[in-house]
Structure 1
């Protein structure tokens, strides 16, 4: 898999650090954000290949970030929702917001890496 530029956004510091480390060890360039406002700003500034966004973050939710990115001019990056929420309604809402995939935490590292290669 080629190196990707990825924004990872989560308000859980331990999870954020762990995911960033996993992705960096896999050869990717990773930028982190601790809330939805930081995530949106990072995605707009860096134009990453992929953004892994927590749904329940301070400021803007992951859904709000995805909707804002989808409304921006040009094709959005690949969006993957990371959430403790896993109901059919949550998955439908993620799809409607513009997410390409919805992973329930704790996401398996292999599953995340597979999604990045898709």
Structure 2
């Protein structure tokens, strides 16, 4: 049985692969806060989240992402990932997600650490 955190993360990766504004916006509640780093100014609400995402999108096929849930209790989810951009760079990722009862995120904060490129 998959967890709410697994379902949300899978949907996030699908939205990342498509860059479809509807898929991106559907991940978040109306008052969701998306932080691209712990100390960044949050993007608040789906419209701002989608706009920020599309301003800094990754083209499909230019990256791969492996992930696992490190911790999930109630509405609190921690995801560890690795994003590989074969043409240029790799990152280790840590995501902190808070989910609403309907499975959408109310808050998403990401950390990403550059690592030596292996490609």
More helix by share: 1
Confirm or deny a common fold (TM above 0.5): no
| TM-score when normalising by structure 1 | 0.27
| TM-score when normalising by structure 2 | 0.27
